[in-house]
Amino acid sequence: MESRPRHQQPRARSGSRARFRFRARARSGVIAGIAALAVAGALLAVPPGPATAADARQSADRLQRDTDALRHTGVTGVAVRLRTPDGVRTATSGTGDLATGRPVPRAGYLRIGSVTKSFVATVALQLVGEGRLRLDDTVEKWLPGTVTGNGNDGRAVTLRHLLGHTSGLPDYAADLAPRDSRDYEANRDRVYPPEQQVALAMRHRPAFRPGARHGYSNTNYLLTGMIVRAATGHTWQHEVRTRILRPLGLRHTSAPEGRPFFPQPHATEYQQFAPDGPYTDTTAPYLPFDTGADGAMISTAADLDRFFTALNTGRLLAPAQQTEMRRTVPVPDAPGEAPGTRAGLGVFSTPLSCGGTYWGHGGSGIGYIVEPAATPDGGRSVTVSLHSRPADQDTAVRQLQALRTLVDHALCDPRR
């Protein structure tokens, strides 16, 4: 689930519950744990010149070097898919399974965590375009009595606040994060309906008044999924399938209802629950997090490329709703967060060192991070997946920094 997902990392504290902050921008996703990187952007400033064989070799070599550098920060396995005007390149590093030593799949299935939020936001904005929802609709209008208590007030929180993480609502995920591997094993098959998850969040006071600033909370997208159902009579999963997956031909992407089955091939995912502790196989879904509109979906790098390219180039939203999606607010600085990141409605924009920005949304969960990023013109796209997460916060930040470097190099044409 995520990450602002952003990628969140369990933060172990003496005598307290480890916290996973799933933002997904995860941006993806950050950090309070590992930040879920957000991915976003605007057009690159200078058009590239003609490609040469030397340019292609240089870019391919750099992609593998950056992938290896990310692996060397302590990730068990890394996979990268980069699409440019010259074609598609992939790179892997590390292992896909510590027990067998098998390689990381180059085209494996991925739990995408908070990248799910970009799909759900797209559905909500399509409904706005159809006049079935308004961005100024309050939560109370669609879900009366759901957001209340301890200073939380659904009459003051709008759909726009939910989609852009400016509601101030507390994040339910902190109450359900596993403390250690035994807690993970004991609770991974427990299913909480979204109403119960929201009720857990309502036990806490809001972080700020609605609209005051950006503050990533997975509760926002649980409520969005519930509003989609109230407005359409269908689950958010049904709407994602009929409005996005089928029209785009995303045959390797699923919005599962019930237990999220993980098809083969996929890498094994590992979570470290305490610094210097062992890594636990967390490939099985953690159902308290992995069933909701905030982070339940499964996809592949190729399908994520197709989705974000379609989203960025206007194939999924009318111009008015595309404009609203890209109306951004600043994301507060945090360790591991890219400076200058801004949050839109279900997407994040991040500056590139070569000029311009990119758009996307990171995702993270227990044992994984995924970061899809694309330029607004659809010309370049990269998806990076990490298949382990450390408990040590400093290590988590180093991994996010190496991830940001890889994405920036991949989307900045080497001929610039």
Q: What is the DSSP letter of 254?
A: B
CA dist 30 and 251 (Å) reads 30
Check: CB of residue 176 under 8 Å from CB of residue 200.
yes
Q: What is the DSSP letter of 179?
A: S
CA dist 135 and 344 (Å) reads 13
Q: Which residue has the tokens 């590390």?
A: 94
If we measure between CA atoms, which residue out of 188, 178, 293 comes closest to residue 230?
293
Residue 171 Ramachandran class (φ > 0 left, ψ -120 to 50 alpha, else beta): beta
CA dist 141 and 145 (Å) reads 9
**Active-site choice (3, 28, 93, 114):** 114
Helix axes 301-312, 116-129, angle to 10 degrees: 30
3-state helix, strand, coil in the chain (%, to 5): 30, 20, 50
CA dist 374 and 409 (Å) reads 12
Tell me whether residue 59 is one of the annotated catalytic residues. Answer: no
CA dist 42 and 293 (Å) reads 27
Strands 368-374 and 109-111: unpaired
DSSP conformation letters of 115-159: GHHHHHHHHHHHHHHTTS--TT-BHHHHSTTSSEETTEETTT-BH
If we measure between CA atoms, which residue out of 200, 220, 280 comes closest to residue 5?
220
Active site residues: 114
